[in-house]
Amino acid sequence: MSGSAYQGIIRRYRDALPIAEEHIVTLHEGNTPLLPAPQLAEQIFPGLDLYLKFEGLNPTGSFKDRGMTYAVSKAVEKGAQAIACASTGNTSAAAAAYGARAGLKVVVIIPAGKIALGKLSQALMHGAQVIQIEGNFDQALEIVRVLANESHCELVNSVNPNRLMGQQTAAFEICDYFAEAPQYHALPVGNAGNITAYWQGYETYFAQGKSTCKPQMLGFQAEGASPIVKGEIVKNPETVASAIRIGNPANWESALKVRDDSGGLIDAVTDTEILASYQLLARYAGYFAEPASAASVAGVVKLAQQGFFKAGDRVVCTLTGHGLKDPDNAIANSPQPQTLPADAKQVLSVIKL
Ligand SMILES: *Cc1c(COP(=O)(O)O)cnc(C)c1O
């Protein structure tokens, strides 16, 4: 293969992600599109310079791959034989895939019946040992922390700093594209690892003189799972956006610090607002993202309605995961296809052009 071909975030950003070549475990993640979305902006706030960072185009369909390539590479460097995580779905998909690539045993603990179908299918296909608990994500994380403490198994949740180091590369890519940081960066917040990682990335580039500015970070939780906004743990988090159905975020403190250091905010959006943006995205931008991802756009819509933005403001929304992960929600929130006899006349009679 030619030396210039793209080979994943570790080789692309070697200085920020130090590791010996022989330990690199990669599926060539990263280098995702940063798509201008003028038609979507027109629907939200005309004049907004809106971009979508589509992390659904990573190898397992979410941004978790950026963290997982580095966390699994570091686990291999350490000589670990097994990795484990708790997950609302995408972390388990990424752990299962990178673990399979590295030849490691993978254990994933998930809340029973609360994982989008596509994500469960990924963990199973890659051969992870999948344990479903009769409880929520927060309980799954407590259990896996005990497991990691009592065994030689490497914990690959976002409490592992290598995850955040990998995930900061999305901010590098955005700054490399614009040759500076945007004014605003919006993203969904679950465990708050990603908002922490992006900010770390923007700060690193700023410190290295690769950007003359830093963005205000705009984080959005789902209203039924908004502990950071409420200022208290949510015992039974509920939202259609399963990837951010988290009541006690692992990176809670750092999320508050990111909010304050960046002069940004963390707010909540309702499931109705999330689903409306889920459809707006698919129809006006051409990107099909999962419901949790649409929380970033829903938050921008909400702020725009409050008069937050002015024309020309540059906003990047991270679309954290692919819509194909969760076909059930897509179908439940769309008009159903019509069924007709196999007869051209009848078919043509109902098509309006
Ligand atoms: C993990 C995930 C999130 C939440 O990210 P945190 O780092 O936990 O805040 C949001 N959207 C999707 C699709 C995810 O998989």
> What are the pLDDT digits (tens) for 44-59?
999 999 999 999 999 9
User: What is the spatial distance between Cα 37 and Cα 297, in angstroms, rounded to a whole number?
Assistant: 11
216-231 burial, b at 16+ Cβ within 10 Å, e below that, comes to bbbbbbbbbbbbbbee
CA 332 / ligand 1 centre spacing (Å):
22
Residue with CA closest to ligand 1 atom 4: 190
| Among 191, 218, 252, 274, residue to substitute to test ligand 1 (most atoms within 8 Å of Cβ) | 191
User: What is the spatial distance between Cα 49 and Cα 51, in angstroms, rounded to a whole number?
Assistant: 7
DSSP for 132-149, please give it.
Answer: EESS-HHHHHHHHHHHHH
User: What is the spatial distance between Cα 310 and Cα 321, in angstroms, rounded to a whole number?
Assistant: 28
Instruction: Give the model's pLDDT for residue 3.
Output: 58
CA 245 / ligand 1 centre spacing (Å):
9
Instruction: Give the model's pLDDT for residue 248.
Output: 95
Residue with CA closest to ligand 1 atom 14: 243
CA 49 / ligand 1 centre spacing (Å):
24
CA 243 / ligand 1 centre spacing (Å):
6
Ligand 1 within 6 A of CB of 291:
no
> What are the pLDDT digits (tens) for 179-197?
999 999 999 999 999 999 9
Instruction: Give the model's pLDDT for residue 167.
Output: 98
Instruction: Give the model's pLDDT for residue 158.
Output: 86
Provide the mean pLDDT of the chain.
96
Ligand 1 within 6 A of CB of 201:
no
Ligand 1 within 6 A of CB of 227:
no
Residue 2 has pLDDT above 70, yes or no: no
**What's the average model confidence in pLDDT over 244-270?**
97
187-196 burial, b at 16+ Cβ within 10 Å, e below that, comes to bbbbbbbbbb
**What's the average model confidence in pLDDT over 148-156?**
92
Ligand 1 within 6 A of CB of 192:
yes
CA 351 / ligand 1 centre spacing (Å):
40
Ligand 1 within 6 A of CB of 138:
no
| Number of alpha helices (DSSP H) and beta strands (DSSP E) in the chain | 15, 10
Ligand 1 within 6 A of CB of 56:
no
**Using 50, 70 and 90 to split pLDDT, how confident is the model at 352?**
confident
User: 220: which strand partners?
Assistant: 188, 267
**What's the average model confidence in pLDDT over 261-282?**
98
Instruction: Give the model's pLDDT for residue 152.
Output: 84
Report pTM: 0.96
> What are the pLDDT digits (tens) for 272-316?
999 999 999 999 999 999 999 999 999 999 999 999 999 999 999
Residue 110 has pLDDT above 90, yes or no: yes
> What are the pLDDT digits (tens) for 29-88?
999 999 999 999 999 999 999 999 999 999 999 999 999 999 999 999 999 999 999 999
